[in-house]
Structure 1
Amino acid sequence: MESLADLLDSYKPRTDAEAADVARVRDLPHGGDPWSRDTPLHVTASAVIVHPPTRRVLLRWHARQRAWLQVGGHGDPGETAPLAVALREGEEETGLTDLTPWPDERLVHVAVVSVTPSATEPAHEHADLRFVLATGTPDAARPEKPGADLRWLTIPDAQELAGPDNLRETLARAAELLG
């Protein structure tokens, strides 16, 4: 699996805003660990999970953000491959053990997103690297905990339900891949 630097070197942003986000992410490794939660901007990895035969996507309710989002999150200590983080987080949050990059291992979207403060951390930003993962066993999906509901949706329904606009863009890119 590609490292952060390799992924960014081969990635082509689609918009000026995304190019600016990619530039911010590229600058992170020069300031230390880009995955460190101790910095106001740090890398996360996420994925839209798809079931290609039915063209459905899986969204997860995120209680803190009060929004339906893709699966994903922070790297664990020692993790440096964004796709590996997205795969691990996808399995943890859904219970799906057959997740695979789809249609390949490409990075599909880079978005810097604001995160509201909580009782344990200040407001900060995630430099989120987004992938598409597929499952052949959609009925096996199970929430990782109460309140983290999962929903299989068509792309239009997911775009209507999705929290932030940047997720709608990720869903649009997943739809292009689904054909």
Structure 2
Amino acid sequence: MQHETVRLLTAYHPATTAETTDKERTLALLDQSDPWSRDMPVHLTASALIVHPPTRRVLLRWHARMQAWLQVGGHGDPGERDPLDVVLREAREETGLDDVTPWPDSAVRQVAVLPVPASATEPAHEHADLRFVLATATPEAARPEKPTAELRWLTLPEAFDLVTEPNLTEFLTRVGELFDQER
């Protein structure tokens, strides 16, 4: 049952040529019996930038494996098929925020196919990441899920200074445009 993923991807209009290719690769995954399966060399993930619109801040999480400040998110649990359900669960688990909600709506805001380096437990692979924006009204309630997964609330200029991934820089730019539209 991947109709929700198909609907979200069909409604999404990529902003760049590279993103168009990533969207096509992601759509092709939906022909697989379980595009979320970690056993596949390319599989679906869902992530989000969590924002606090009144202060125009974003929440970044330190990812030790990637050695980078990134958005929250990750893999679907067995049986999960709706990317929005996946990202909401992941956001709650990784931040302790129980009030996260899609903002300003539940649309996909970026599609990126990204390399993931090998670890002691899995080979190198790729994530076909569907990205959303979530908002919280209680930023002070954010708590890291573990000591090595630090969280930081940042203004957009601070986030741009900290982020090293070009795809995340683009995502932050899109969030800035959303902030501007909501004024």
TM-score after normalising by structure 1 = 0.97
What percentage of aligned pairs have identical amino acids? 65
Q: Does 1:138 align with 2:164?
A: no
- Give the total of aligned pairs: 178
Q: What is aligned with 1:155? A: 156
More displaced, 86-95 or 155-164? 155-164
For 1:44, give the aligned amino acid: T
- Structure 1 Cα separation of the partners of residues 164 and 129 of structure 2: 15
Runs of at least 4 residues off by over 6 Å: none
- Structure 2 Cα separation of the partners of residues 120 and 151 of structure 1: 28
For 1:138, give the aligned amino acid: P
The aligned runs of 1:56-75 (5 Å cut-off) are 56-75=57-76
Q: Does 1:76 align with 2:77?
A: yes
Q: How far off is 1:162 after superposition?
A: 1.2
Q: How far off is 1:163 after superposition?
A: 3.0
Provide the aligned C-alpha RMSD in A. 0.8
Residue 3 of structure 1 aligns to a residue in which SS?
helix
- Structure 2 Cα separation of the partners of residues 163 and 72 of structure 1: 18
Q: What is aligned with 2:52? A: 51
For 1:57, give the aligned amino acid: V
Q: What is aligned with 2:172? A: 171
Residue 54 of structure 2 aligns to a residue in which SS?
coil
Q: What is aligned with 2:41? A: 40
The aligned runs of 1:73-152 (5 Å cut-off) are 73-152=74-153
- Structure 2 Cα separation of the partners of residues 74 and 163 of structure 1: 22
Residue 53 of structure 1 aligns to a residue in which SS?
helix
For 1:157, give the aligned amino acid: E
1:100-140 C-alpha deviation (Å, 9 max, x unpaired): 10001111000011000001100000000000000000000
Structure 1 gap ranges (5+): none
Q: How far off is 1:9 after superposition?
A: 1.1
Residue 55 of structure 2 aligns to a residue in which SS?
coil
Structure 2 gap ranges (5+): none
- Structure 2 Cα separation of the partners of residues 156 and 43 of structure 1: 30
For 1:153, give the aligned amino acid: L
